[in-house]
Amino acid sequence: MISTELARALQTAGLRWKPVSGDFFRIDRPDLEGDLFTVSDMTIEPHEFDTGTILGFNGTTEWALDSLALEDALWLPREDQLRELLRGTFRGLWREGAGYRVDAEIAGLDDYFCANDPADAYAMALLALIEHSAAPAPAPQLSTDED
Query: pLDDT (tens digit, 9 = 90+) per residue, 101-138?
Result: 999 999 899 999 999 999 999 999 999 999 998 877 66
**Which residues constitute the domain of residue 124?**
79-134
The one-letter code for the residue type at 118 is P
* Model pLDDT for residues 24-68, shown as the tens digit of each residue: 999 877 777 778 888 876 667 787 888 888 777 766 544 555 667
Q: What is the C-alpha to C-alpha distance for residues 14 and 117, in angstroms, rounded to an integer? A: 23
Q: What is the C-alpha to C-alpha distance for residues 33 and 26, in angstroms, rounded to an integer? A: 7
Residue 46 shares a structural domain with residue 69: yes
Residue 85 shares a structural domain with residue 54: no
Asked whether residue 140 is assigned to any structural domain, the reply reads no
Count of the separate structural domains present in the chain = 2
Q: What is the C-alpha to C-alpha distance for residues 105 and 110, in angstroms, rounded to an integer? A: 4
Query: The whole model's pTM is what?
Result: 0.78
Nearest to 46 by CA among 69, 72, 65, 79: 69
DSSP H helices in the chain: 4-13, 79-86, 118-134
